[in-house]
Amino acid sequence: MSLLALEDVRGGYGEVDVLNGVSLTVGEGEIVVVIGPNGAGKSTAMKAVTGLVNVRGGRIVFAGEDITGARTDAVARRRVCYVPQEKNVFPSLTVEENLEMGAYLRRDDFGRELAAVFDLFPPLKDKRRQPAGSLSGGQRQMVAMGRALMLQPRLLLLDEPTAGLSPKFREMIFERIQAINRTGVSVLLVEQNAREALGIAARGYVLVMGRNRHEGSGALLLADREVATMFLGG
């Protein structure tokens, strides 16, 4: 049984539907990538899981439980942790306070996770007392991912974590995602940098116009001629 399943999900913001029937699954321990052109509903599909989108049709199931239309904090309580593409840190809070907010739901000691995040992203350790708003884009992305890791997620939802980053940072983020995944965290990843993302993914989905267009293993999609010409730059 898959950890997360979207079944024919329809919905969007306000009255406008962005999703016209999206289905996908993430298995336990998998990295799954969603690619597609701008406006295809990739980010919206991910946000639908977190309860930030009005879902008007279909079902979202996490770990066997129907979470369609669940409150955002209730989704977090199931340890589904979402990292938005933009506005993914609390700018006036320090790096350490950002990480503490990630652990808001925990009653136990989270010193170990804090140390683990600093191990994963060493630059954050020196900047722990600085406001997150003063950091560079790459460092903010580290804070954002670190915040999500504080809750010991079962599923990590990453919305274009490498957008706007230099190739060096991009490579580093992809490598860290794999490291996080190796600790047993399942990952759903929305990406523009499709080639690199499919390279680390077990499976991938291509969305177009709020619908599934292709799906398959990362290697299969990378080899697909149509996918290649449309999304991988030939």
* Interacting residue ranges for another protein, rule: CB under 8 A: 50, 52, 71-73, 76-77, 81-82, 84, 87-93, 97, 100-102, 104-105, 133, 147, 151
* Comparison of 72 and 217: residue with beta carbon closer to another protein: 72
* Comparison of 74 and 223: residue with beta carbon closer to another protein: 74
* Comparison of 52 and 61: residue with beta carbon closer to another protein: 52
State the Cα angle at 4 between 3 and 7, rounded to 5°: 135
CA atoms within 13 A on the CB side of 2: 18
Helices 137-149 and 95-102: crossing angle, nearest 10°?
30
Residues 6 or more apart whose CB falls under 8 angstroms from that of 21 comprise 8, 9, 10, 57, 58, 210, 211, 212
Question: Cα separation of 2 and 209, whole Å?
Answer: 25
Give me the least distance between CB of 196 and another protein, in Å please: 25
Give me the least distance between CB of 101 and another protein, in Å please: 5
Give me the least distance between CB of 42 and another protein, in Å please: 17
Question: Cα separation of 213 and 227, whole Å?
Answer: 10
* Comparison of 36 and 153: residue with beta carbon closer to another protein: 153
Give me the least distance between CB of 163 and another protein, in Å please: 17
Q: What are phi and psi of 135, to 5 degrees?
A: -90, 165
Give me the least distance between CB of 78 and another protein, in Å please: 10
Question: Cα separation of 44 and 12, whole Å?
Answer: 7
* Comparison of 50 and 186: residue with beta carbon closer to another protein: 50
